[in-house]
Amino acid sequence: MRLTLILIVCLLTLGSAQELVQLPGNSPLVNIAVQFKVGAANDPEGEEGLCYLTSTSLSEGGTLKRSYQQLLEEFYPWAVAVECTVGMERVTYHTTVHRDHLEQFTPLFVEMLTQPGFRGSDLHRLRKKGKNYLSQDLRVNNDEELGKEVLYLQVYPESHPYGHHRNGSLIGLDSVTSEEVKRFYQDHFHSHNVVLGLSGGYPSSFPDELMTRLKEGLPLGASDSHETLVKITHPASPDGRRATIVEKDTRSVAISLGFPIEVNRSHPDWAALFLFRSFLGEHRSSNSYLYQRLREARGLNYGDYAYIEYFPNGMYLTKPEPYFPRTEQIFQIWIRPVEPANAVFALRATLYELEKVVRDGLTQEQFEQTRSFLKKNAPILVAGDSRRLGYRMDNLFYGVDPFVEKLQRELDALTREEVNLAVKNHLQADNLEIVLVAKGARGLRNSLLEGDPSPITYNSEKPKGILQEDRVIETYPLNLNEVRIESVNSFFR
């Protein structure tokens, strides 16, 4: 009997741990994150954008009692804003409020999440906002983010749950009705699908009080809510090297390339690949390998970076934002825009360097230097209570220890041989998707397929070693199985 009671208590404790993340502190600011186990991967076929519209209706729409403008007026004296992050598998509402205003803010925050108004005017405004992001912000205003998001569309086919942008598609957003938004809310934003995260100087009674209010106010849902989760399968790797040229009237050529990997934060090789991608192309680092070879040695562009996790809006950020956890990830290289005359050379140089480091691996010195950097950099990634909370909730998704503790422990145990073995097991340069955003797509396609030398010229003298290496790179075989030209307007439709 006693053993049974102990087992029940343990199960209850485990269940509550999965619903509540607490990081108490002494700060006068309280960070709140309410996360739902749903994401854009749940969008039905033909209604891509349903999750986005439903989610933003809670954070940027009115409630049954108040208009959105009234909510903003209430929040203004407290300097509070409720942000919504729509990911592929999670939707998160996060905010920061001074503890002096917590008692007044909390009922309004709960009202936003549990009593959405779903007014037609709000849906119309948010639908327009979502479409403008896809058609203007991505297609027109940002070649680099465009290239990176198109790369994901090439890796994940339309039939895959990740096979569309997290904001949806232009046609999908137009297809969503208010009744479907209300039904999606009832089906997914319910009491069994919620996770609460808190950090900062909140009262000890606040977590239970807020969770109780949420549970009482949200749709009841089914206790077997796991049945609403989408099965995320691993996509097939590209067969050879495939290139997609996004034809657009632009002055430079943005390049992204990558392929799916079977590694996320729960995988035993994650720390090894995390270290390798830092060596190869740490975000915003001038010390990383690709940056040194392409930017510093040759002046090709502004920067060159590598990733093993989804990192949207990278050109605006120095550190990746939390709340974008994914079961499936890709290995990605981001080559910031180059002059059209140097585009083929830049692509050749990237593939040449990738092939070389995958083949040769890291030296002991490179391994030690990168590990030392990461052990110092990891705490910076979670600097501040709000980021620490976000990373803790992301790691809860993966079912692993807190980010810094996990990374530093695994880095301490890593060897150079283990890193190089993980690289050989998971990374390669032969089967990948390549995306180039460029003007004059037909001429670029011919250059890629014909394989003619693509020499580079400089405005200043270069070391003899670089010039010798250039002669190898300018004839490096691209071995492209396919080169497609797509109009920029064909994406996110």
433-452 residue pLDDT tens: 999 999 999 999 999 999 99
For residue 4, pLDDT over 90 is answered with: no
89-129 pLDDT, tens per residue?
999 999 999 999 999 999 999 999 999 999 999 999 999 99
Coil, strand or helix at 249 = coil
Tokens for 333, please give them. 């290289």
Domains delineated in the chain: 16-228 (3.30.830.10), 241-490 (3.30.830.10)
- Asked whether 253 and 245 are in contact (CB, 8 A), the reply is no
Pairing type for strands 253-261 and 432-438 reads: antiparallel
pLDDT level of residue 16 (50, 70, 90 thresholds) = very low
* CA–CA distance, 385 with 89 (Å, rounded to integer): 23
- Asked whether 482 and 158 are in contact (CB, 8 A), the reply is no
Helix or strand (DSSP H, E) at 241: strand 241-247
Tokens for 444, please give them. 């670029």
For residue 208, pLDDT over 70 is answered with: yes
Question: Taking all residues of the chain, what is their mean pLDDT, rounded to a whole number?
Answer: 94
Cβ neighbours around 295 below 10 Å, total: 18
* CA–CA distance, 361 with 238 (Å, rounded to integer): 23
260, β-bridge pairs: 330
Predicted confidence at residue 229, as pLDDT, reads 75
* CA–CA distance, 338 with 120 (Å, rounded to integer): 45
Predicted confidence at residue 3, as pLDDT, reads 33
Please give the C-alpha separations between residue 349 and each of 7, 199, 266, in angstroms, as whole numbers: 59, 45, 32
Predicted confidence at residue 8, as pLDDT, reads 32
CA 327 to chain centre: 11
* CA–CA distance, 187 with 218 (Å, rounded to integer): 11
Cβ neighbours around 292 below 10 Å, total: 15
* CA–CA distance, 50 with 169 (Å, rounded to integer): 10
For residue 10, pLDDT over 50 is answered with: no
DSSP per position, 256-292: EEEEEES--TTSTTHHHHHHHHHHHH-TT-SSSHHII
Sign of the alpha-carbon dihedral angle for 325, 377, 315, 308: negative
Mean pLDDT of 244-265: 98
Q: How many CA atoms lie within 13 A of 218 on its CB side?
A: 27
Q: Please report which residue ranges of 166-318 form alpha helices under DSSP H.
A: 170-175, 178-188, 206-217, 270-281, 289-290
- Asked whether 75 and 101 are in contact (CB, 8 A), the reply is no
Mean pLDDT of 309-332: 97
Q: Which amino acid is at 420?
A: N
* CA–CA distance, 149 with 166 (Å, rounded to integer): 10
